[in-house]
Amino acid sequence: MKNYKMVLQYEGTRYQGWQKQESTANTIQGKLEAILTKMTGVPTEIQGSGRTDAGVHALGQVANFHIEERLVESGQLTVDGMMKYINCYLPEDIAVISLEEVPERFHSRLNAREKTYCYRVLNSDIPHIFDRRYVFEMPEKLDIPAMREAAAVLVGEHDFKSFTSNKRGKKSTVRCIREIRIERVEDEIRFTYRGNGFLYHMVRILTGTLLEVGRGERRPEEMQGILNAKNRECAGCLVPGKGLTLVEVKY
């Protein structure tokens, strides 16, 4: 079997997230697998670096898939040919931006070492029509220094059980956040998270909690107590998926 790594972009607005589901074909993974199966003539699965939620976007999602060597050796499928074929049949809001053959043991999720996400908040009472699918609107005045102080507590290796919606998970909830950057870019406040991995809804709950600090509803020094509680009810709200983008995955 030949193993291929792809980097893709998508606007997640009209999809039910990355992961394929029995109840709908309207997922990123489902769309890709249908095209790959048609291209190869056999059922073909694809593995993503992570499961982005409904409405979440990607600038640099990474995925890999295997195809039989005979299809490659016969000249039926080349890297350039496959990339053109996939992009030809993908809807206009999904695109493969690179494709390459990789070692057999490469796995887009298991081999990932670092991920970067960005959450965009429109901090203005004037709507931005052309950005409305990519930002969460919050016009209230926000205390950026207080949010940065709170974010500093969250950087490092911690048990982030309070910051996930997955209540039944048996796997470790310990993760390492290497950086949380909060900056104003014109009318937007952008939260950039860089870490070795993120739990289900983790970035969206972290952002919701920091925004509550920004509005004065929480104090920065409460963050350590929320971490120690290991209880989802102690953290802040889950902000909408539309403001979140998976920016990059490193290996």
When mean pLDDT is compared across 8-17, 19-28, 188-197, the lowest value belongs to 19-28
46 pLDDT above the threshold of 90: yes
The pLDDT of residue 193: 98
CATH code of the domain in which 46 resides: 3.30.70.580
Place of tokens 């999602």: 61
The pLDDT of residue 170: 78
Spatial distance between the Cα atoms of 42 and 64, rounded to a whole number of angstroms: 16
When mean pLDDT is compared across 19-33, 69-83, 123-137, 203-217, the lowest value belongs to 69-83
Domain ranges, residue 53: 2-102
When mean pLDDT is compared across 51-60, 117-126, 165-174, 228-237, the lowest value belongs to 165-174
Q: Which helix (H) or strand (E) holds 80?
A: helix 79-89
When mean pLDDT is compared across 65-69, 188-192, 204-208, the lowest value belongs to 65-69
| Total number of domains constituting the chain | 2
Residues 77 and 123 in one domain: no
Of 44, 70, 102, which residue is a domain's last?
Answer: 102
Residues 164 and 213 in one domain: yes
Which residues are known to be catalytic?
Answer: 53
Query: Which positions ≥6 away from 72 have C-beta within 8 Å?
Result: 2, 78
Three-class SS state of 146: helix
CATH code of the domain in which 199 resides: 3.30.70.660
Mean pLDDT over residues 95-124, rounded? 97
